[in-house]
Amino acid sequence: QAFVEGDFADLVTGKVVFPEFGEQHIADDLDLILPPRIPLYFGFDFGRTPVCLIATMTKGGRLIVLDEIVGADISIKTLVDDHIEPVLNMDYKAAHIDGAWGDPAGLIKTQGVEVSPYDVLMQSGIPIEDPGGGNKLGPRLEAVKQRLTSLDSMGYPKLQISSNCKYLLAALKHDYVYETIRGGNGAVRDVPTKSHEGWVSDLCDALQYLCLGLSYNSSYAPRKFRKSVRKQLV
């Protein structure tokens, strides 16, 4: 389409990490009618391009990623204060936070201040935890693949992404890849590309932490401090 017909097309420069992903995994944002008091689950990745995914879970077991929040050259504190809290207070005022997971490296305090990204989120009322799995890539990828290839009790895929999440969708479709090795006769690298352009790897990592955290906590119980969480965020 691109090389022969001269049309614009998405070009994949390697092997996509999630070939299981398809149009059935995209939920039209305009068709998503959700009750106000929904449970929310967060996935985070840190660094100077921090990101947050906001998702909910249906009674049938379908995880729907509703929003992506991205930052460029900012701290996690700025992401929370200037980007996450306004979205929560505008679109999810009656919702409750049931779980949050992120890069375990976020447990480490920085050299400049005695506070870690996990500390910042906890102080902001977001009950983040280590998703488990020792931060190994295999379990993280498998957690996403299991949801992509499974159906909930209503016959929907167990993972859907709102059409509102344009960067995450682009990453899953064609940007998050195992890059082709030059001169390798079509061989690809054994780890996905680490690209912060378009928040590709950041968002895909956040999705992995979200799915892995939920898989390790499949019978996740509401937290005793749920009310205080919403009191701080609203």
Span 173-225, pLDDT tens digits: 999 999 877 655 666 677 898 889 999 999 999 999 999 999 876 544 444 33
Q: Tell me how far apart the alpha carbons of residues 108 and 27 are, in angstroms, rounded to a whole number.
A: 36
Average pLDDT for 19-36: 87
Q: Where are the beta strands (DSSP E) in 13-136?
A: 14-16, 26-27, 39-45, 51-57, 63-70, 96-102, 128-129
Q: What are the percentages of helix, strand and coil residues in the chain, rounded to 5?
A: 35, 20, 45
- Angstrom distance (rounded) from CA 192 to CA 202: 12
pTM > 0.75: yes
pLDDT at 179: 87
- pLDDT, tens digit, 9 for 90 and up, residues 61-91: 999 999 999 999 999 999 999 999 999 999 9
**Contact in structure between 150 and 139 (CB atoms under 8 Å):** no
Place of tokens 């061989």: 187
CA distances, 34 to each of 40, 72, 144, 182, 204 (Å)? 12, 30, 23, 47, 24
Report residue 202 as tokens: 């950041």
Nearest-Å Rg of the Cα atoms of the chain is 18
Q: What percent of the chain is modeled with pLDDT above 70?
A: 81
